[in-house]
Amino acid sequence: MLRLVVRAALGVLIVASALLPVSAPARAQDACAGLVEPRLEIGGLGRVTSPYGVSLKDRPATGAAGSVEVTLMPPGTAFTVIDGPRCANNYRWWQVRLANGTTGWAAEGDAANYFLEPNIVGLDLFVPRADRTEIMHTFVLPDGRAQAREPFPVAPVNATPAEVWQQVEIDRLVPAVEQARQNCPQRLIGTPFADLASAEDALQLPLPPLDYDVYPAPDGSRLLLVRHLHLLVPRCDHALPERIGISRVVVLDADGTETELFPFAQHSDIPASEDQYPADTIDAWPIYLDEVVWAPDGRHIAFVAAYRDTCGEAACYRFHMYVAALETGQLYILGEGRHVAWTDGGARLMFFRVLSDAEGRRVPLLFSARPDGTDRQEIWLPGGALYTSTTQTPLGLPWNASGTRLIVGNAGGTSEVMVFNTGDKGFTPPVGVPEMAMPLNRLSVHLVQGETSYLWTTIRGDFIVQNIRRGDSVRLNSALGSVGVPLVRVEPFATGEAALAVMADGSAYVLDIGADTLTPVALPE
């Protein structure tokens, strides 16, 4: 009976519609029309590419349309795509999940720009061959799998001090060799200076052809190569030899092309500075690069050079900052500062200075500036925290990847740590450093698991995971002390759930933090 009633009603509607004027059928508007083509997919990984970050919303709509911001995702934030796409308010939206479990909707792009991109989470590993004529390039995935990439060829430098050194180093070499020849010739035995007819002949000695350090670009497409063209001259009054020579800082492309940025000599003039840090490393070089930090967009590189000096009657170091603009070749001199980080996707540089106030207390100052040093702004710091080391050796308390949060010591010391947020000037509660991770045992510390945990690493290869707010910690069963090779570096993956541990011989392991497992990386031959 019901079915008949419905059919009858439909018949009435059909008849009635036939009596109405005929008009063109309405066309549904495509909310996605004109937007950039989608590149993300459900189940895939992505990352934030906008230099300003991307707002994570509670639904696929703009704030003007009534959505609420869940959190701001800084540049480089990694995520997993869990739903979408939806098109609304002239944006294409995807539902994503962050490493800490936070979910929300993010705009992939508008009609002309992408704010997000697909991301294969992994880390680039660069290991020089035994003869150092090539730098092997491997892309390591969080599960321990490794993909071989094209190696970087490194051409040997065939040169002598007379050919490439700055005059200040030439003037330093001859008297140093002559002094050793006259006063402690026994120390020259077994060195390149042993059989020289005169001290001046040292200017014709071959320099080390392949002595260098490597600092990869964020995308692994280029390397910063610091070539050390030094000679070590024995000293009569010191157990350690004197390092004399220059270093060349160059950008190395995958085809072997080198673009020199600047050289620096071991005995260059020390720039005037108010900053001073007591020397606590007896064998440190007269001048060395203390920090080399690529901007996330790869357009700039920040350098912190350490200059050995005498402050009063004691040895000290002074730290000065430089920024190389790779697109123009310009080198900017920013002056005193250290402990640098890039923020706003590479648009600004954060750095510290530690100066003495009227009472002689060492006071930390935090600054922000454009890469060229302009628009310098002091960022107010709440008191009661140690933001950067007051000695030559850094505390090893780093910035996060986006330059917005920083691990700091509490109350002028390092037995307790906090996380400082540059946005709201807030701190997480101070928590005690695990006993195994105190400074003498500590190799590094990083923010992991969505920046909710500290990952402490000891020089013996132990790992401790600690909640940044509660302070409770767990020593992982995974450890590298039994490998027999020193651990030199730990770097978390972008997901924050795993970390790459690199050994002194170039071998590597992937630490799965949650599963507490270590997987050897099978490096390609």
- Read off the pLDDT of residues 182-196 as tens digits, 9 standing for 90 and up: 999 999 999 999 999
pLDDT level of residue 52 (50, 70, 90 thresholds): confident
Identity at 198, one-letter amino acid code: S
CB-count exposure of residue 318 (10 Å: 0-12, 13-18, 19+) = buried
Over residues 396-407, the pLDDT tens digits come to: 899 998 899 999
3-class DSSP state for residue 152?
strand
pLDDT level of residue 29 (50, 70, 90 thresholds): low
pLDDT score at 11: 38
pLDDT level of residue 6 (50, 70, 90 thresholds): very low
Range from 237-251, 253-267, 351-365 carrying the lowest mean pLDDT: 351-365
104 bridge partner residues: 96
pLDDT score at 186: 96
Give the burial string for 412-442 (b: 16+ CB within 10 Å, else e).
Answer: eebebbbbbebeeeeebebbebbebbeeeeb
pLDDT score at 266: 97
pLDDT score at 402: 85
Give 188's contacts (C-beta < 8 A, 6+ positions apart): 180, 181, 194, 234
- Whether residue 85 is preceded by a cis peptide bond, meaning omega within 30 degrees of 0, is yes
Dist. CA 421–CA 433, nearest whole Å:
19
Residue bearing the bigger pLDDT, 158 or 440:
158
What is the mean pLDDT of the segment spanning 405-423? 90
pTM for the predicted model, two decimal places: 0.83
Range from 116-120, 411-415, 446-450 carrying the lowest mean pLDDT: 411-415
pLDDT level of residue 2 (50, 70, 90 thresholds): very low
pLDDT score at 354: 87
pLDDT score at 7: 35
- Is residue 25 scored above 60 in pLDDT? no
Q: Write out the DSSP string of 433-500.
A: PPGGGSTTTEEEEEEETTTTEEEEEETTSEEEEEETTT--EEEEEEE-GGGSS-EEEEEE-TTSSEEE
Tokens of 24: 């063109």
Q: Do 387 and 406 touch, CB atoms closer than 8 A?
A: yes
pLDDT score at 358: 79
What is the mean pLDDT of the segment spanning 260-271? 96
What is the mean pLDDT of the segment spanning 497-524? 95
Q: How does the average pLDDT of the chain come out, rounded?
A: 90
pLDDT level of residue 462 (50, 70, 90 thresholds): very high
pLDDT score at 279: 93
- Is residue 22 scored above 70 in pLDDT? no
What share of the chain in percent tops pLDDT 70? 94
What is the mean pLDDT of the segment spanning 366-391? 92
Residues in the chain: 525
If one counts every other C-beta atom within 10 angstroms of the C-beta of residue 230, the result is 20
What is the mean pLDDT of the segment spanning 358-365? 82
- Is residue 97 scored above 70 in pLDDT? yes
What share of the chain in percent tops pLDDT 90? 75
Over residues 242-257, the pLDDT tens digits come to: 999 999 999 999 999 9
pLDDT score at 45: 85
What is the mean pLDDT of the segment spanning 436-456? 93
The structural domains of the chain, ordered by start, are: 45-118 (2.30.30.40)
